[in-house]
Chains A and B, each alone.
Chain A
Amino acid sequence: LAKTTQPVSMDSYEGQEVNITCSHNNIATNDYITWYQQFPSQGPRFIIQGYKTKVTNEVASLFIPADRKSSTLSLPRVSLSDTAVYYCLVGGVYNFNKFYFGSGTKLNVKP
Chain B
Amino acid sequence: DAGVTQSPTHLIKTRGQQVTLRCSPKSGHDTVSWYQQALGQGPQFIFQYYEEEERQRGNFPDRFSGHQFPNYSSELNVNALLLGDSALYLCASSPALGDRASFNYGYTFGSGTRLTVV
Q: Could you tell me the distance between the alpha carbons of A72 and B45 in the complex, rounded to whole angstroms?
A: 24
* Residue in A41, A44, A45, A97 whose CB lies within 8 Å of B114: A41
Q: Mark A79-95, 1 if CB is under 8 A from B, else 0.
A: 00000000100000110
Spot the interface stretch: A11-19, A21-29, A100-108: A100-108
Cβ of A70 < 8 Å from any Cβ of B? no
Cβ of A49 < 8 Å from any Cβ of B? yes
Secondary structure of the B contact surface, majority rule:
strand
Given contacts A41-B114, A42-B111, A43-B90, contact A100 B45 (CB under 8 A): yes
| B-side interface residues, number (CB < 8 Å) | 31
Note all chain A residues with C-beta closer than 8 A to B109.
Answer: 36, 43-45
Q: Could you tell me the distance between the alpha carbons of A31 and B101 in the complex, rounded to whole angstroms?
A: 14
Q: Which B residues are closer than 8 A to A by beta carbons? A: 4, 31, 33, 35, 41-45, 48, 50, 55-58, 88, 90, 92, 94, 100, 103-112, 114
6 interchain residue pairs of minimum CB distance:
A43-B109, A101-B42, A46-B106, A98-B56, A96-B55, A101-B43
What would 18 A/B residue contacts be, using CB atoms closer than 8 Å? Answer: A34-B106, A41-B112, A43-B92, A44-B90, A44-B109, A45-B109, A46-B108, A49-B105, A49-B106, A96-B55, A97-B48, A98-B33, A98-B48, A98-B56, A98-B57, A100-B45, A101-B43, A101-B45
